[in-house]
Protein backbone atom coordinates (compact mmCIF):
# COMPACT_ATOMS: atom_id res chain seq x y z
CA UNK A 1 0.00 0.00 0.00
CA UNK A 2 2.83 2.35 0.95
CA UNK A 3 4.62 1.64 -2.36
CA UNK A 4 1.42 2.29 -4.34
CA UNK A 5 0.88 5.62 -2.58
CA UNK A 6 4.47 6.69 -3.31
CA UNK A 7 4.54 5.80 -7.01
CA UNK A 8 0.95 6.21 -8.28
CA UNK A 9 -0.76 9.61 -8.52
CA UNK A 10 -4.35 10.74 -8.96
CA UNK A 11 -5.22 10.77 -12.65
CA UNK A 12 -2.70 8.05 -13.62
CA UNK A 13 -3.93 5.31 -15.93
CA UNK A 14 -2.81 2.02 -14.33
CA UNK A 15 -2.87 -1.65 -15.33
CA UNK A 16 -3.41 -3.94 -12.30
CA UNK A 17 -1.96 -7.17 -13.75
CA UNK A 18 -2.85 -10.39 -11.93
CA UNK A 19 -5.20 -8.30 -9.79
CA UNK A 20 -7.02 -11.21 -8.11
CA UNK A 21 -9.90 -10.14 -5.84
CA UNK A 22 -8.69 -6.53 -5.88
CA UNK A 23 -7.15 -5.41 -2.59
CA UNK A 24 -4.70 -3.27 -4.59
CA UNK A 25 -7.28 -2.36 -7.25
CA UNK A 26 -9.26 -0.72 -4.43
CA UNK A 27 -6.23 1.19 -3.19
CA UNK A 28 -5.46 2.38 -6.74
CA UNK A 29 -9.07 3.60 -7.04
CA UNK A 30 -8.80 5.41 -3.69
CA UNK A 31 -5.60 7.14 -4.87
CA UNK A 32 -7.64 8.46 -7.81
CA UNK A 33 -6.13 6.36 -10.60
CA UNK A 34 -8.10 5.05 -13.54
CA UNK A 35 -7.57 1.28 -13.49
CA UNK A 36 -7.68 -1.54 -16.02
CA UNK A 37 -7.90 -4.92 -14.25
CA UNK A 38 -6.28 -7.99 -15.85
CA UNK A 39 -6.07 -11.58 -14.68
CA UNK A 40 -5.86 -15.02 -16.30
CA UNK A 41 -8.74 -16.24 -14.17
CA UNK A 42 -12.32 -15.34 -15.10
CA UNK A 43 -13.34 -16.29 -11.55
CA UNK A 44 -10.88 -13.75 -10.09
CA UNK A 45 -12.05 -11.09 -12.56
CA UNK A 46 -15.68 -11.59 -11.49
CA UNK A 47 -14.65 -11.51 -7.84
CA UNK A 48 -12.72 -8.28 -8.46
CA UNK A 49 -15.72 -6.68 -10.17
CA UNK A 50 -18.06 -7.77 -7.33
CA UNK A 51 -15.71 -6.47 -4.58
CA UNK A 52 -15.13 -3.12 -6.32
CA UNK A 53 -18.89 -2.74 -6.84
CA UNK A 54 -19.58 -3.63 -3.19
CA UNK A 55 -17.32 -0.82 -1.92
CA UNK A 56 -18.57 1.70 -4.51
CA UNK A 57 -15.28 1.97 -6.45
CA UNK A 58 -16.22 0.18 -9.69
CA UNK A 59 -16.50 3.50 -11.55
CA UNK A 60 -12.70 3.86 -11.23
CA UNK A 61 -12.23 0.68 -13.28
CA UNK A 62 -12.24 1.10 -17.06
CA UNK A 63 -12.56 -2.63 -17.68
CA UNK A 64 -11.87 -6.21 -16.56
CA UNK A 65 -9.77 -8.05 -19.14
CA UNK A 66 -8.79 -11.71 -19.25
CA UNK A 67 -5.08 -11.65 -20.06
CA UNK A 68 -1.85 -13.43 -19.21
CA UNK A 69 1.17 -11.31 -18.25
CA UNK A 70 3.21 -13.21 -20.84
CA UNK A 71 0.81 -11.98 -23.56
CA UNK A 72 -0.62 -8.49 -23.07
CA UNK A 73 -1.50 -8.11 -26.76
CA UNK A 74 -4.88 -6.67 -25.71
CA UNK A 75 -2.93 -3.49 -24.82
CA UNK A 76 -0.89 -1.03 -26.89
CA UNK A 77 2.76 -0.09 -26.34
CA UNK A 78 3.17 2.54 -23.62
CA UNK A 79 -0.54 2.96 -22.92
CA UNK A 80 -0.24 3.00 -19.10
CA UNK A 81 1.43 5.49 -16.73
CA UNK A 82 2.10 2.62 -14.34
CA UNK A 83 1.75 -1.16 -14.27
CA UNK A 84 1.22 -2.94 -10.95
CA UNK A 85 1.93 -6.67 -10.75
CA UNK A 86 1.71 -7.45 -7.04
CA UNK A 87 1.20 -10.70 -5.16
CA UNK A 88 3.45 -12.83 -7.32
CA UNK A 89 2.10 -13.33 -10.87
CA UNK A 90 5.75 -13.18 -11.98
CA UNK A 91 6.48 -16.06 -9.57
CA UNK A 92 3.68 -18.10 -11.20
CA UNK A 93 5.00 -17.81 -14.76
CA UNK A 94 8.11 -19.79 -13.71
CA UNK A 95 10.69 -19.81 -16.55
CA UNK A 96 8.60 -17.41 -18.68
CA UNK A 97 9.55 -14.45 -16.45
CA UNK A 98 11.63 -12.81 -19.24
CA UNK A 99 8.62 -12.87 -21.60
CA UNK A 100 6.36 -11.51 -18.87
CA UNK A 101 8.78 -8.67 -18.09
CA UNK A 102 9.04 -7.81 -21.81
CA UNK A 103 5.26 -7.51 -21.96
CA UNK A 104 4.86 -5.61 -18.66
CA UNK A 105 7.52 -3.10 -19.80
CA UNK A 106 6.06 -2.80 -23.29
CA UNK A 107 2.69 -1.49 -22.07
CA UNK A 108 4.11 1.12 -19.65
CA UNK A 109 5.10 4.51 -21.10
CA UNK A 110 8.71 5.71 -21.12
CA UNK A 111 9.38 7.32 -17.74
CA UNK A 112 6.47 5.37 -16.20
CA UNK A 113 6.81 2.84 -13.39
CA UNK A 114 6.45 -0.92 -13.13
CA UNK A 115 5.65 -2.05 -9.57
CA UNK A 116 6.32 -5.74 -8.98
CA UNK A 117 6.29 -8.19 -6.14
CA UNK A 118 7.48 -11.80 -6.14
CA UNK A 119 7.62 -14.54 -3.53
CA UNK A 120 10.86 -14.51 -1.52
CA UNK A 121 13.03 -17.61 -1.17
CA UNK A 122 14.99 -16.41 1.85
CA UNK A 123 11.84 -15.00 3.47
CA UNK A 124 10.24 -18.45 3.09
CA UNK A 125 13.25 -20.21 4.62
CA UNK A 126 13.18 -17.69 7.48
CA UNK A 127 9.72 -19.08 8.36
CA UNK A 128 11.69 -21.81 10.08
CA UNK A 129 8.59 -23.49 11.56
CA UNK A 130 7.43 -24.28 7.99
CA UNK A 131 10.94 -25.19 6.88
CA UNK A 132 11.13 -27.83 9.61
CA UNK A 133 7.68 -29.23 8.85
CA UNK A 134 8.63 -29.46 5.13
CA UNK A 135 11.88 -31.20 6.07
CA UNK A 136 9.90 -33.77 8.08
CA UNK A 137 7.16 -34.21 5.47
CA UNK A 138 9.23 -34.25 2.25
CA UNK A 139 12.81 -35.02 3.29
CA UNK A 140 16.08 -33.12 2.99
CA UNK A 141 16.63 -33.68 -0.75
CA UNK A 142 13.24 -32.24 -1.72
CA UNK A 143 13.75 -29.11 0.41
CA UNK A 144 17.33 -28.76 -0.89
CA UNK A 145 15.99 -28.86 -4.47
CA UNK A 146 13.64 -25.95 -3.69
CA UNK A 147 16.46 -23.93 -2.11
CA UNK A 148 18.77 -24.61 -5.09
CA UNK A 149 16.23 -23.98 -7.88
CA UNK A 150 13.72 -21.62 -6.21
CA UNK A 151 10.95 -23.71 -7.75
CA UNK A 152 8.26 -24.73 -5.25
CA UNK A 153 5.99 -27.55 -6.48
CA UNK A 154 2.24 -27.51 -5.58
CA UNK A 155 2.63 -30.52 -3.28
CA UNK A 156 4.93 -28.47 -1.05
CA UNK A 157 2.77 -25.33 -0.95
CA UNK A 158 -0.55 -26.76 0.15
CA UNK A 159 -1.85 -27.06 -3.42
CA UNK A 160 -1.03 -23.54 -4.70
CA UNK A 161 0.06 -23.24 -8.33
CA UNK A 162 3.73 -24.10 -8.88
CA UNK A 163 5.75 -20.96 -8.16
CA UNK A 164 9.27 -19.61 -8.33
CA UNK A 165 10.70 -18.18 -5.11
CA UNK A 166 13.18 -15.39 -5.87
CA UNK A 167 16.38 -14.21 -4.31
CA UNK A 168 16.70 -10.39 -4.57
CA UNK A 169 20.08 -10.82 -6.33
CA UNK A 170 18.37 -12.97 -8.99
CA UNK A 171 15.46 -10.56 -9.54
CA UNK A 172 17.79 -7.54 -9.73
CA UNK A 173 19.88 -9.37 -12.37
CA UNK A 174 16.75 -10.20 -14.39
CA UNK A 175 15.65 -6.55 -14.30
CA UNK A 176 19.09 -5.23 -15.27
CA UNK A 177 18.71 -7.04 -18.62
CA UNK A 178 15.75 -4.70 -19.44
CA UNK A 179 15.88 -0.99 -20.22
CA UNK A 180 14.95 0.27 -16.77
CA UNK A 181 16.25 1.84 -13.57
CA UNK A 182 15.53 0.23 -10.22
CA UNK A 183 14.16 3.08 -8.10
CA UNK A 184 12.98 1.21 -4.97
CA UNK A 185 13.23 -2.24 -3.44
CA UNK A 186 11.94 -3.57 -0.12
CA UNK A 187 10.39 -6.55 1.60
CA UNK A 188 6.71 -6.92 2.43
CA UNK A 189 5.28 -8.83 5.35
CA UNK A 190 8.47 -8.28 7.33
CA UNK A 191 6.71 -7.95 10.69
CA UNK A 192 2.90 -8.32 10.62
CA UNK A 193 3.17 -11.16 8.09
CA UNK A 194 5.17 -13.16 10.65
CA UNK A 195 2.42 -13.17 13.29
CA UNK A 196 0.05 -16.04 13.98
CA UNK A 197 -3.59 -15.06 13.35
CA UNK A 198 -4.45 -15.03 17.07
CA UNK A 199 -1.61 -12.62 17.85
CA UNK A 200 -2.57 -10.41 14.90
CA UNK A 201 -6.19 -10.29 16.07
CA UNK A 202 -5.05 -9.35 19.59
CA UNK A 203 -2.98 -6.34 18.43
CA UNK A 204 -4.43 -2.97 19.51
CA UNK A 205 -4.83 -0.54 16.56
CA UNK A 206 -2.01 1.71 17.82
CA UNK A 207 0.30 -1.31 18.27
CA UNK A 208 -0.49 -2.48 14.76
CA UNK A 209 0.22 0.98 13.38
CA UNK A 210 3.55 1.22 15.25
CA UNK A 211 4.74 -2.23 14.10
CA UNK A 212 3.67 -1.51 10.49
CA UNK A 213 5.47 1.86 10.49
CA UNK A 214 8.69 0.26 11.76
CA UNK A 215 8.49 -2.49 9.14
CA UNK A 216 7.92 0.04 6.33
CA UNK A 217 10.86 2.10 7.61
CA UNK A 218 13.26 -0.88 7.74
CA UNK A 219 12.02 -2.89 4.71
CA UNK A 220 14.24 -1.11 2.11
CA UNK A 221 17.45 -1.84 4.07
CA UNK A 222 19.74 -4.12 2.00
CA UNK A 223 19.62 -6.69 4.81
CA UNK A 224 15.81 -6.70 4.84
CA UNK A 225 14.87 -6.89 1.13
CA UNK A 226 14.98 -10.71 1.06
CA UNK A 227 13.53 -11.23 4.52
CA UNK A 228 9.77 -10.76 4.01
CA UNK A 229 7.09 -12.88 2.36
CA UNK A 230 7.48 -10.92 -0.87
CA UNK A 231 10.16 -8.79 -2.49
CA UNK A 232 8.75 -5.50 -3.80
CA UNK A 233 10.57 -3.62 -6.54
CA UNK A 234 9.77 -0.47 -8.48
CA UNK A 235 11.48 0.18 -11.79
CA UNK A 236 11.28 3.18 -14.10
CA UNK A 237 11.21 2.49 -17.82
CA UNK A 238 13.89 4.58 -19.43
CA UNK A 239 12.32 7.13 -21.76
Ligand X SMILES: C[S@@+](CC[C@H](N)C(=O)[O-])C[C@H]1O[C@@H](n2cnc3c(N)ncnc32)[C@H](O)[C@@H]1O
The interface region with ligand X, picked from 34-42, 174-182, 192-200, 231-239 by CB under 6 A, is 34-42
Binding of residue 23 to ligand X (CB under 6 A): yes
Is the distance from CB of 4 to CB of 113 less than 8 angstroms? no
Torsion of the alpha carbons at 124, 128, 133 and 137, rounded to the nearest 10: 60
Minimum distance, C-beta of residue 96 to ligand X, in the bound complex (Å): 8
List the one residue out of 192, 173, 172 whose CA is nearest residue 184.
172
CA separation for the pair 162, 95 (Å, rounded) = 11
**Binds ligand X (CB under 6 A): choice among 5, 11, 41, 130:** 41
Q: Which is nearer to ligand X, 45 or 146 (CB)?
A: 45
Q: Where are the alpha helices (DSSP H) in the chain?
A: 2-7, 23-31, 42-54, 89-92, 97-106, 121-126, 128-138, 140-149, 168-176, 197-202, 205-218
Binding of residue 228 to ligand X (CB under 6 A): no
Binding of residue 166 to ligand X (CB under 6 A): no
Q: Which is nearer to ligand X, 21 or 112 (CB)?
A: 21
Binding of residue 157 to ligand X (CB under 6 A): no
Binding of residue 75 to ligand X (CB under 6 A): no
The interface region with ligand X, picked from 7-15, 87-95, 107-115, 192-200 by CB under 6 A, is 87-95
Amino acid sequence: MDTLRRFVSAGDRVLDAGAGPGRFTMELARIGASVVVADTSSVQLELNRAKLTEVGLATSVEGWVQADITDLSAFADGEFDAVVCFGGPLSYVLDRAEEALDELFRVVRGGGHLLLSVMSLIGSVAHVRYLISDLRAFGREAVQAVIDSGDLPPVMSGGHLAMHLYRWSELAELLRRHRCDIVAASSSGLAIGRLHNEMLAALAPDEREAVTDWAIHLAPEPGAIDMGEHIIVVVRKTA
